[in-house]
Structure 1
Amino acid sequence: MRIPPFYRHPVWQRFLAGAAVGGCISWLVFLFMFGTIQQKNSTIIERQAIRINELSGHIQILEEDKQKLNEENEKMLTIQEIDVKIHNFERYGINDRLGIYKAEESVGEDLRSLIAEDLTTVYKNKEIIKKTVENKRLTINGKQYRLVVKELYFYTTISLVLELKLAD
């Protein structure tokens, strides 16, 4: 096969030269437009990265402040009430609900001084609270009973679960 001899015709020479020059010019226009768009995008990305770093710093500061406030609030927790429950009174044939209620109130009165105290202070003295309750003697229906602490929970409410035992 043979290439047609278009290189000898000036019309075809002008057309091919124009296509080559047009291709070069269009390539330069494309590179210019692409470069300006990329430059704009890169400046936007830089600004966003700076903004993200600033906001991350603000978030970290806010989280530290929140943590400090939570720690301060935990330190400020105080005892609001005392809940006393006596179990196994049926074992000794005590059907006097009023007597059990009075015994629970008596124990609650002994511990009333703990109300409005700091939770950590009360928790540190839990053994003293236990001994105070266990050394108490109750008289129900003419019999002497002592209390044994089975469960002791601390939060804004002190919850005591007690058992009755016959006093020696």
Structure 2
Amino acid sequence: MRLPPYYRNPAWQRFIAGMAVGGAISWCIFLYIFGVWQEDYSKLILKQQKDIEEYKEEIKIWQKDYEELNNKNQEKMTVQKINIRITNWEKYKLDQFSVFQTEESVKDDIKMVLAKDLETVSKTKDLITKIIENKPIKINNKRYKLEVKELVIYTTLTINIEIHFDE
């Protein structure tokens, strides 16, 4: 196999030399542009990593502060409302007004727990139960006693009571 004798023709020599010089120049330009882009992207990535680390630190600080505030608020939670419900009033054929009056009377007896923190109220739940159960109630000339069936202590103090004849 024989190569054509183009190497003797000056037009072809200039064309091939131009291609070689153009290729070398374009390769240098490509390397320069690629290097600049890589440098910019490397700077951007480093900046973003630094920002991420700062944000993670800020998040840790915020979470710690949030937990401390949450714990303080839970310690300071107080009883805001008292709900009393007599569950078996139909059994004794009591009217709703008498039931309402009894519930209000019990609320008045234990209203000292309003605006107290939950820890104090939970420590005095036995006292609350005794206050309710030791007070006889008179409805329609009959004496009844109350029995606490359920006591839920949170921002709303919920007490379910059953009523029985006092003997």
TM-score normalised per structure 1? 0.88
Structural RMSD (CA): 1.8
Match of 1:88 in 2: 88
Aligned pairs for 1:1-168 (under 5 A) are 2-95=2-95, 97-168=96-167
The CA distance in 1 between the partners of 2:9 and 2:93, in whole Å, is 128
Deviations 1:47-94 (A, max 9, x none): 121122112211221222122112211211112232212122221122
Amino acid at match of 2:18: G
My pick for the range that moved more, 2-11 or 16-25, is 2-11
Measured after TM superposition, the shift of residue 2 of structure 1 is 4.1
Q: Name which of structure 1's ranges 63-72 and 28-37 shifts more when overlaid on structure 2.
A: 63-72
Q: Which amino acid aligns with 1:127?
A: D
Unaligned runs of 5+ in 1: none
Within 1, Cα distance between the matches of 2:127 and 2:76? 22
Q: What is the TM-score with the length of structure 2 in the denominator?
A: 0.88
Once the two structures are aligned, what percentage of the paired residues are identical?
A: 44
* Per-residue deviation, residues 84-106 of structure 1 (Å, max 9, x unmatched): 121222211223x3332222122
Q: CA–CA distance in 2 between the matches of 1:50 and 1:79? A: 47
Moved more, 39-48 or 9-18: 9-18
CA distance in 2, matches of 1:55, 1:113: 47
Shift of 1:138: 1.4
Question: What amino acid is the match of 2:66?
Answer: K
In 2, distance between residues paired with 1:4 and 1:136? Answer: 124
1:141 is matched by which residue type in structure 2? N
- Aligned residue pairs: how many? 167
AA aligned opposite 1:88: N
Q: Distance in 1 between matches of 2:76 and 2:62?
A: 21
Where in structure 1 do 4 or more consecutive aligned residues deviate above 3 Å?
Answer: none
* Helix, strand or coil at the partner of 2:20: helix
Look up the equivalent residue of 1:114 and give its one-letter code.
V
Note the residue ranges of structure 2 that are not aligned, 5 or more in a row: none
